[in-house]
Structure 1
Amino acid sequence: MGRFVLTYFKRLVVCFLIVILIYLLTTLTPRDKEKFEISVRKNRGEEKKYYVKSGKCEMPYVDPFNDEFTRINHPKIFIPCTNESDLITVHYDNIFNQYVLHINEEVLHKLTESKSNNFSCFYQKIIYGQSPDYYDKIGEKTKLTQDYLVPLNVEGMLVDCRTADEKRILQKDAFVFIQYQKSPQNLNVKDRKASVIMYGIDTVSRTNIRRMMPMVYEFLKSPGWYEMMGYNKVADNSFPNIFAMLTGLSPESAEEQVCNTDIDGCLDKIPFIWKEFKNEGYLTAYAEDEEISNTFNYMKPGFGVRPTDYYFRPFLTALENETVIQYNTGSLMKYCLGRRLANSYIFDYCRQFMQRFVADRPIWGMFWSNHFSHDDFFMLSAMQHKILNDLLNFEKDGAFEHTIMIFFSDHGARFGPLMYMKESFLEERLPMMFIYLPPWFREKYPQYVQALSQNQHRLSSNFDVYNTLKHILNIEEVLEDTQWAYDCPDCQSLFYPLPENRSCSDAGISEPYCTCHNYKEIKAEPWTWRLADLVVDRINKYLKLNNIQDLCSDLTLKVVNSTEQWMEEIDGDVDRPKGMRYYHTKFQVHQNMAEYFATVLYNRDTEELKVNVELISRINMYGTDSECVNNKIHKLYCVCLSKLRTLEK
């Protein structure tokens, strides 16, 4: 009897614990769930977890909430640009196919502190001239009346509302519009191809989306979404990574095959993918939210011809020059343009583009935001509700019924606190990449869905994304003369199964950016200092080679922070001379405490060194250190003599 009672009691305790466990698993936050799962795996003694694991690529999974990150985590709180309600709101009239401006009398009375309607509102059209990258002027004042129909030739406007005597400003605002245009008569809607929207956020790694935006990450696990967990960047910063995705070319190959992207007029000649979509009957759009750091204008000449049907930049330049600007705290990025987040204009532009056209004709658009994420990755936490709401609004509009959406980034954090973590190498090189396929596409092309699902845990790159965009254009039958990514002959569409045993070279990823290989930190020895010193010497020779040694200081090694060695046997590596091995070296120089990370081939016995200086990363912000040079690559290695601070011993 006693044994029976004891057995019954044990079973009761086990059942109780199971109930508690189920309750915890259903109520834990995404962050707590992930920590719990990792803890369970550790207790079970399970093997290390990988995003990709094959004979040629072992891309390790990173615990987003490890102790290192917990110690530096400083999540931010969202701060609105204004606490005032909108005096003027916009809605779209589907009968007239025009935007309508509505004056909210309740808000008016609150602002005027009276029940009278003694006020006046005017708008000024934003006019762009010969250059597509800049606005030309602000037009004459036009009076606004209640429920004003916006003329079809007005794509952007500044609004000013005042008391009747014009002595007091009630509210200023700005609006940008995607104006309607009729579909071509010969457009076959029934057999049309999928629309494509690329919604990007600068500097968001695969790990950081999990830790900083867990609610967004949970949304991206919904049916129809596929995360490319083996996605690896191919270059250092935004321009070459986005350029590869949109052209299939590196900037260096573009210079050989087409023109130098640093020269005026070149970008107009580049075969961007949006030109091919345009030729196939798609309406096209492009928008970014930072004028100075714009992908095609930061240290680049920009466009001489309007690149897409709808192009946001001239309105952005007007907003940045004509509205009150609020900056991100401790950042050079503009947070608010007038009453709205800079990012809000990008989202509104994207949403209008889809609302106007996606149900009626194929569209392609890229909408890129960097103002809140580039300089401070903690700001992602403040913006997660904003970005989640964007995605939910797209869903509410029905846009996901028609659209292939690519929700992505260009790279992870390249400087700041995350660069001092053990996983910094992975953080920088593994940007987020999510692809959504609409229900009709999943039903019509099950073979492509199966391939994309399978490819989630296989190594992929920017060039594969380019090939996927090309594939969408020829979804029924790939043409024999299709020009795939020039800089990666072995790359392919993500709608085809990628080789399981794929190497970085197969995916167009050079060793300095490859996350597939097992590097281990090694003990500091005299030769590790010598290795870093030789790399510093190569940087100095690079400055001389580019004739900027009179502007930039020679660099001298201050400290070697870490050295890592590729541990696997690599005798089969045809690019590795005999006796040389791959190393990572992270070091700091005396000059303005600049910090660098380099991947090199090195022979410890002969001190032979092979390194491409232009692939060495600067891992702390250079700020104004390099303002004496204009080339964006030179800026990484130049500490201007005019900006040189007292050297620390």
Structure 2
Amino acid sequence: MMMKIKTFTSVSYKKCILCTFILFLSIVWYITSFVVNDELTIKFNESEKRFYVNSSKCQMVYVEPFNAEFTKVYTPKNFTRCSNQNDLVTGHFDSILKQYVLHVDEQVLHKLSQSESNDFIYKVSLSFYTAFMLSRLGNKTKFTHGYVVPLNVEGMLVECRSADEKRILQEDAFSFVQYQKPPPNSEIDRKASVIMYGIDTVSRTNLRRLMPMVFEFLKSPGWYEMMGYNKVADNSYPNIFPILTGYSPSSAENQICDTSQPGCLDEIPFIWKEMKKNGYLTAYAEDTLIINTFNYVKPGFLSRPTDYYFRPVLDALEKKTNKHYYPGCKMAYCLGRRLANSYIFDYCRQFMQRFVADRPIWGMFWSNHISHDDFSMLSAMQHKIVGDLLNFEKDGSFEHTIMIFFSDHGSRFGPLMRTKESFLEARQPIMFIYSPPWFREKYPQYVEALAQNQNRLSSNFDVYNTLKHIINIEGLVEDTKWAYDCPQCQSLFYPLPESRSCSEAAIPEAYCTCHNYEEVQEDHGTWRMAELVVDRINQYLQYNNLQNLCSSLTLRVINITEVRMLESDEYVGLGKGLRHYHTKFQVHQNLAEFFATVLYDRRTEELHINVELINRINIYRADAECVDDGTQKLFCICLSKLRNNESTPTIQ
């Protein structure tokens, strides 16, 4: 038999599952959960409501995770392995050579080929790629056990075949964070490294529900949960963009350039540029190619944005490996033999292992596929995520690193949008910040402020300011530019105002979870208000010249209407009869469902609304294939996609 191995992306380390640690954590969580639940019950009985934030301008209500509405729509998911085979080829970083070395496990080889002759020819061929935007496979190279990976190789695809080349024994993929020497005197002024580990579509309530082991880990010393954290926009891009730039996308377009045009994203002042100027080594990685934050209906970067950039590796992974999908999900669950998310974790772990003890680093590692398509997938992934965190701890990375464990938003469509707490679910993503022991000792005042801010209203712009503060932690730069779109925002290392409003944190009313809304009964006024909102959507489509592509919408049913209670004198200046309302409704066209926050006068029918802040709350990907703009997709039912809808209205 003859063996070949053909390459293509990311060094695949033998996974350290840390079963003992996870079992211990499971037992701890199981035991302590009874105590925690008892405490919550006592507090809940003391008053009718509990709050994450409770001030004169913000009352952010706590949601009981396992309420009756949730249990009706929740079905647990089980973790599924991508492969039951042992690794035929593995790699490790040689600390003396400062290079990666590949190994062939002959025992695994014999096991995989046991039905064949024992007369083997051990040959491995590798294809390298080093291109920036897309993968470029290089010449095949044979190797034997102990092969030293060249420094210019970012990843490879390995393929092992029988001698007659008729049978593939195993394929695998590897990526490499190649070593760079630290600059001289990099440790003279110690700076904290920053790692941002993010998961798309995770609310703080869903973390408590579906990842209790992860939640328990995040209660460890040094971790602080921003329980008053509130998103500032609808979907991923406009929530991540402010964290990384201090701008909203619309302000960046007005002040810098149009991000829909090629080359603009390269001009945006992303935080990694500031990090780079201040001696940080930088990295950025995502695990999905198509809905990648800066490439979904965007042109992406024309130049490599960070020192280490995962997209070329990902391009090769998605094109050259076999994809497997979890039932009900449209994003790849497995790429080759490995979970799509595992490549991100391996890349992040390598980045920290290579550099975090020697020099300051910044990296963002973002996973889309875990829960974007199905909120309940979090339950299948909790052992994987807690294993990641335990591995970082085992490596000693937390000794050097400020880690931000976060999300962009909660569920925006699907079953949870039919619950009473859907408004809160979509708008309250997780935000946990870890400070290492040396940082806590050196800057106790900043850590004290971080602890105090846990129950105060905060937003994406505060996180951006915190990143800027870390760069200038000693205050040596006097002209630091803070978040452009929130002059009143500040670093989370300073105490936030106890009485802070959403407007002061640059959170639009459409996304603000501080205010008390109560349901009103449907009548002519509520129907008319929803009709006017639908009219505004149709005007928006016409204004953007989409009437020949997208259908006009007509109101079918109102699911719920809520009015904002007047907790303060905030409305005195409005005059007239204007009040804020929530309206959730469905249109006839493809039964599309929307949620809008409006300022409306029931008597005069005066209505104020920003159409682009209206949320589409059911899956719309197939409906809107005829338009490219991400915002316009929310409101477009392509004429070519119109269906006959004979079912009864969806009452929520």
TM-score normalised over the length of structure 1: 0.93
Q: Distance in 2 between matches of 1:399 and 1:513?
A: 35
- CA distance in structure 2 between the partners assigned to 1:613 and 1:30 by the alignment: 46
C-alpha distance in structure 1 between counterparts of 2:29 and 2:197, whole Å: 31
Question: Do the aligned partners of residues 167 and 511 (structure 1) sit closer, same or farther apart at CA in structure 2, a change above 3 Å counting?
Answer: same
**1:574 CA drift (Å):** 7.6
2: CA distance between counterparts of 1:152 and 1:574? Answer: 66
Paired residue for 2:192, among 194, 207, 227? 194
Alpha-carbon distance, 1:627 to partner: 0.3
Determine if the alignment matches structure 1 residue 149 to structure 2 residue 148: yes
- Give the C-alpha shift of residue 169 in structure 1: 1.1
Alignment of 1:20-39 (within 5 A): 28=30, 34-39=36-41
Q: Distance in 1 between matches of 2:206 and 2:119?
A: 50
Counterparts of 1:510 and 1:390, CA distance in 2: 35
Measured in 2, the distance between the counterparts of 1:172 and 1:596 equals: 45
C-alpha contact 2:245 2:464 (8 A) present in aligned 1: yes
Give the Cα separation in 1 of the matches to 2:117 and 2:429: 53
Deviation at 1:36, TM superposition (A): 3.8
Q: Distance in 2 between matches of 1:351 and 1:461?
A: 28
Work out the CA distance in 1 between the residues paired with 2:148 and 2:32.
Answer: 46
* Aligned-pair CA distance for 1:40: 3.3
**Secondary structure class of the residue paired with 2:373:** coil
Aligned to 1:301: 299
User: Is 1:564 aligned to residue 565 of structure 2?
Assistant: no
1:61 aligned residue: 62
Structure 1 contact 247–466 (Cα < 8 Å) conserved: yes
1:240 is matched with which residue: 235, 238, 241? 238
Is the Cα contact below 8 Å between 1:258 and 1:270 reproduced in 2? yes
Distance in 1 between residues matched to 2:29 and 2:350, nearest whole Å? 37
Partner Cα distance (2:32, 2:203) in 1: 17
Give the Å deviation of 1:163. Answer: 1.9
List per-residue Cα deviations over 1:524-581 (Å, max 9, x = no partner).
2221111111100100010000000111001011100000000115543487453200
What is residue 227 of structure 2 aligned with on the other side? 229
Q: SS at the partner of 1:189?
A: coil
Between Structure 1 and Structure 2, whose CA radius of gyration is higher?
1
Determine the structure 2 residue equivalent to 1:555: 553
Alpha-carbon distance in 2 for matches of 1:56, 1:326: 48
Query: Amino acid of the residue matched to residue 291 of structure 1?
Result: L
Tell me the SS of whatever aligns to 1:139. coil
Task: Give how far 1:41 is off.
Answer: 3.6
Q: Who is 1:124 aligned against?
A: 126
Query: 1:140 aligns to what?
Result: 139
RMSD: 1.6
2:20 corresponds to which residue?
none
Among 557, 568, 579, the residue aligned to 2:577: 579
Matched, 1:99 2:100: yes
Matched AA of 2:42: V
2:381 aligned with 1:379, yes or no?
Answer: no
Partner amino acid, structure 2, of 1:140: N
User: Residue 31 of structure 1 contacts residue 65 of structure 1 at CA under 8 Å; is this kept in 2?
Assistant: no
Quote the residue 2:253 is aligned against: 255
Whether 1:161 aligns to 2:163 is no
Question: Match of 2:593?
Answer: 595
Question: What amino acid is the match of 1:157?
Answer: M
CA distance in 2, matches of 1:26, 1:351: 26
Runs of at least 5 residues in structure 1 that lack an aligned partner in the other structure: 1-24
Deviation at 1:100, TM superposition (A): 1.2
Residue 151 (structure 1) shift: 1.1
| Matched residue type, 1:176 | S
Residues 112, 119 of structure 1: alpha-carbon distance in 2 compared, 3 angstrom cutoff: farther
Question: 1:252-401 counterparts in 2 under 5 A?
Answer: 252-401=250-399
For 1:80, the equivalent position in structure 2 comes to 81
Deviates more, 1:337-346 or 1:573-582: 573-582
- 1:348-381 Cα offsets, whole Å, 9 max, x none, are 0000000000000000000000112101111110
> Kindly tell me: are residues 576 and 295 of structure 1, through their superposed partners in 2, closer, same or farther at Cα, counting changes over 3 Å?
farther
Count of aligned pairs between the two proteins = 620
Distance in 2 (alpha carbons) for counterparts of 1:600 and 1:464: 26
State the match for 2:614 in structure 1.
616
Q: CA deviation at 1:29?
A: 5.5
CA distance in 1, matches of 2:217, 2:165: 47
Residue type at the aligned position of 1:238: S
Give the whole-Å Cα distance in 2 for the aligned partners of 1:536 and 1:302: 33
User: Which whole-Å deviations, capped at 9, do the CAs of 1:306-348 have from their partners, x for residues lacking one?
Assistant: 0000000011011100111112312210111111111000000
SS of residue paired to 2:139: strand
8 A Cα contact 2:450 2:493, kept in partner? yes
Question: What is the match of residue 473 of structure 2?
Answer: 475
C-alpha distance after superposition, 1:587-637 (max 9, x if no partner): 000100100000000000000000100000000000210101010100000
Note closer, same or farther for the CA distance 1:119–1:374 as it changes in structure 2 (3 Å cut): farther
Quote the residue 2:523 is aligned against. Answer: 525
Letter in 2 for 1:166: E
Amino acid at match of 1:389: G
Whole-angstrom distance in 1 between the partners of 2:119 and 2:237: 51
Q: Distance in 1 between matches of 2:504 and 2:127?
A: 51
Query: What is the distance in 1 between the residues matched to 2:124 and 2:74?
Result: 46
Contact 2:186 2:358 in 1 (8 A): no
SS of 1:596's partner is strand
Do 2:623 and 2:638's aligned partners in 1 also have CA atoms closer than 8 Å? yes
Contact 1:468-1:494 at 8 Å conserved across structures: yes
- In 2, distance between residues paired with 1:575 and 1:230? 27
- 2:461 pairs with one of 455, 459, 463: 463
Cα distance in 2 for partners of 1:83, 1:500 equals 53
Structure 1 Cα separation of the partners of residues 162 and 390 of structure 2: 38
Greater alpha carbon shift after TM alignment, 468-477 vs 67-76: 67-76
The Cα shift of 1:99 comes to: 0.9
Answer yes or no: is the 8 Å Cα contact 1:59–1:517 preserved in 2.
yes
CA distance in structure 2 between the aligned counterparts of 1:293 and 1:115, rounded to whole angstroms = 46
Report how far residue 121 of structure 1 moved. Answer: 4.2
Local SS of the residue matching 1:268:
helix
5 Å-filtered alignment, 1:174-185, equals 174-185=173-184
Query: C-alpha displacement at 1:166, in angstroms?
Result: 2.3
- Residue 67 of structure 1 deviates from its aligned partner by 1.1
Specify which of 442, 449, 452 is matched with residue 450 of structure 2: 452
Q: Look up the SS of the partner of 2:570 in the other structure.
A: coil
Are 2:597 and 2:614, in contact at CA under 8 Å, matched by a contact in 1?
yes
Hey, what does 1:3 align to over in structure 2?
Answer: none
Shift of 1:192: 2.2
Structure 1 residue matching 2:90: 3-state secondary structure: strand
Asked if structure 2 preserves the Cα contact closer than 8 Å seen for 1:109 and 1:117, the reply is no
- The amino acid that maps onto 1:275 is K
Q: Deviations over 1:154-203 (max 9, x none)?
A: 11001111123323211111100000011112x33142210000000000
Between 470-479 and 622-631, report the one with greater CA deviation: 470-479
Cα distance between partner residues in 2 of 1:80 and 1:145:
29
User: 1:574–1:475: structure 2 CA closer, same or farther, 3 Å change rule?
Assistant: farther
Deviations 1:84-119 (A, max 9, x none): 111111111101011111111111111010684614
SS at 2:298's partner residue? coil
Q: 1:26 offset after TM fit, Å?
A: 7.5
1:8 alignment counterpart: none
- Residues 473-498 of structure 1 show CA distances to partners (whole Å, capped at 9, x for unaligned) of 00011532110000000000000000
Q: Secondary structure at the match of 1:174?
A: strand
Kept after mapping to 1: 8 A contact 2:126/2:142: no
Question: For residues 547 and 343 of structure 1, do their structure 2 counterparts lie closer, same or farther at Cα, with a shift above 3 Å needed?
Answer: same
Task: State whether residues 173 and 317 of structure 2, in contact with CA within 8 Å, keep that contact through their aligned partners in structure 1.
Answer: yes
| Greater alpha carbon shift after TM alignment, 103-112 vs 354-363 | 103-112
The 3 A distance-change label for structure 1 pair 127 and 561 is same
Q: Which residue of 2 aligns with 1:19?
A: none
1:172 aligns with 2:171: yes
**CA shift digits 1:233-287 (9 cap, x unpaired):** 0000000100000000001100111001111110000000000000011100000
Give distance in 2, aligned partners of 1:177 and 1:532: 54
Q: Partner residue of 1:13?
A: none
